Amino acid sequence: MASSLASGLSSQQEDYLKYSTGWPGIAIECESLEIFKLDLGALVVELKIAAEQQIKSIKDSMQEARIALLQQLHRSV
């Protein structure tokens, strides 16, 4: 089954395969396409978690800024 994300290329090193990422000069070596898919899936999950944490941090900072601004406005009235 061909993958649009990676195309398998035989390498002379052990039993590993090299998958082209589509970016010049960047390739991923792994034992099989299945392991590559699992690794890629794990990376996507990690990136999603990191993005969600960043979004929460930004929202928390915005809320703190709103509270500080409201407190300043209240003091000036």
Every domain of the chain and the residues it spans: 7-76
SS3 track for 45-76? HHHHHHHHHHHHHHHHHHHHHHHHHHHHHHHH
Percent of the chain clearing pLDDT 90 (strictly above): 42
Q: pLDDT band at residue 7, thresholds of 50, 70 and 90? A: very low
Cα separation, 30 vs 26, in Å, equals: 13
Sign of CA dihedral 15, 17, 44, 38: negative
Residue 15 DSSP SS3: coil
Q: What is the mean pLDDT of the chain?
A: 78
Enter the tokens of residue 71.
């407190």
**From its phi and psi, is residue 30 left (phi > 0), alpha (psi between -120 and 50) or beta?**
beta
Task: Give the pTM.
Answer: 0.53
How far is it, in rounded angstroms, from Cα 55 to Cα 48? 10
- The mean per-residue pLDDT over the stretch 50-60 comes to 97
